[in-house]
Structure 1
């Protein structure tokens, strides 16, 4: 069996760090000495690992300026989708369908694999999301919602799944936020959302995979139904306004 080179192992650690910390294009990595201490590796091995990621296009080194994250792979894939979603907001339901399939499994694996640190992180994100309710900008709460769900994906310890989910949330937040924020301004929607998020958190913390998967899927089904109700309400308002305009002529 071929032995994995130390530099390859460090490169994997760096990729995981970039993904879990949400580093994006243009973000700078810590200084070499600090990064070596953080990863508990030698600086020569770290340099070799960084060169590997530079050759893969994940990092770029600037003379005298440090090492920076290049454009993440999923962003290249997401760019044409962002334009598509702006022209056709209905495609957000396609994203929800994919989330339904992926997040149920993510919750399952998180319940199996979450460490004590992961569980504390999930709980902290849940409490932050609840604390932001009623914020002047409803998107603050929507972003906290995404961070909560991603903390569960992180606890699944599946790097590929984490990359995919980050891309999906980026699509939702950057392209169709006009409906996501409304979820948090409707009392009849917020209370069930809070209860669903709490149930999901508690299922993962309790290490109950079946309960966690069920909680994730029921939550996403509710979100989809709620967004459809918002669309229907807005359509009725538009029709009513057009009718009043015609009558007033």
Structure 2
């Protein structure tokens, strides 16, 4: 039996992968890589067909497959969006937790130490030049806002916008998914720190601006390890500030 004949037999035994299945793998790969983010609106059927060089019928079949698997969500008149792969777990188990709980805010800040550190590291490694410019612009906007009096609510929004930009553009699907799902809890934790500090001192924790700058400068230098450490230190210090504001509730 010739070598060519052996190869022909192997090909016959191989499963045939349809074009729709191939496209589904391409789409899933982009989602896993963080190129397409949870919540992101997909391009139109026509645009996807042109991009991948396939017919609209194949695109439609692929999208239908992924909707059925829970990878995509399609709503009439609203287009198709990428699903957050962890959403069902959080909706089921964490949806009813009290948002302003001191204990929950501490737990969230503990989690953020890990998430923010890793997000900063991956952003340094994977962010495009365009995404880096987005961070520069946001950091500049944050600095401009601080020139004016800001309420704790406004300050918390500006703070979290900066951190979420890093997380959502770090090209790591699990970090992006967790950051999105924990957004409201992240917000309540930082608002809790800023609000408590402002009520007691009339100002805000002095470390925040300097530590934001440390994170920003390390990321702009693409220094992943320094960026990770700076982000971790920032959240750790914020958590310690919250503990100091509620000394009777520790332990």
The TM-score with structure 2 as length reference comes to: 0.71
Partner Cα separation in structure 2 for residue 106 and residue 36 of structure 1: 33
Q: How has the CA–CA distance of structure 1 residues 62 and 151 changed in structure 2, closer, same or farther, with 3 Å as cutoff?
A: closer
Partner Cα separation in structure 2 for residue 231 and residue 135 of structure 1: 26
Gaps of 5+ in 2: 1-14
Report the aligned-residue RMSD: 3.5
Q: How has the CA–CA distance of structure 1 residues 130 and 47 changed in structure 2, closer, same or farther, with 3 Å as cutoff?
A: farther
The answer to whether residue 243 in structure 2 is matched with residue 225 in structure 1 is no
Output aligned runs, 1:16-27, within 5 Å. Answer: 16=34, 19=37, 22-23=39-40
> Alpha-carbon deviation of 1:45?
4.5
The TM-score with structure 1 as length reference comes to: 0.71
Identify, as 1 or 2, the structure richer in helix.
Answer: 1
Partner Cα separation in structure 2 for residue 184 and residue 228 of structure 1: 11
Partner Cα separation in structure 2 for residue 98 and residue 123 of structure 1: 26
Gaps of 5+ in 1: 236-249
The answer to whether residue 128 in structure 2 is matched with residue 115 in structure 1 is yes
Partner Cα separation in structure 2 for residue 36 and residue 183 of structure 1: 53
Q: What per-residue deviation string (whole Å, max 9, x for no partner) do you get for residues 80-104 of structure 1?
A: 4242234743122112112212322
Partner Cα separation in structure 1 for residue 151 and residue 225 of structure 2: 35
> Alpha-carbon deviation of 1:31?
4.0
Q: What per-residue deviation string (whole Å, max 9, x for no partner) do you get for residues 13-66 of structure 1?
A: 36746626x54xxxx6554335656x5654344323321321122434455x35
Partner Cα separation in structure 2 for residue 61 and residue 87 of structure 1: 33
Partner of 2:98: 85
Partner of 2:143: 130
Q: How has the CA–CA distance of structure 1 residues 66 and 107 changed in structure 2, closer, same or farther, with 3 Å as cutoff?
A: closer
Partner of 1:193: 208
Q: How many residues are aligned here?
A: 225
Partner Cα separation in structure 2 for residue 70 and residue 165 of structure 1: 15
Output aligned runs, 1:1-249, within 5 Å. Answer: 5-13=22-30, 16=34, 19=37, 22-23=39-40, 29=42, 31-34=44-47, 42=54, 43-62=56-75, 65-69=77-81, 72-79=84-91, 80-86=93-99, 88-133=101-146, 134=148, 138-173=152-187, 179-182=192-195, 185=198, 187-189=203-205, 191-232=206-247
Partner of 2:5: none
Q: How has the CA–CA distance of structure 1 residues 13 and 227 changed in structure 2, closer, same or farther, with 3 Å as cutoff?
A: same
Decide whether the 8 Å contact of 1:114 with 1:155 is kept in 2: yes
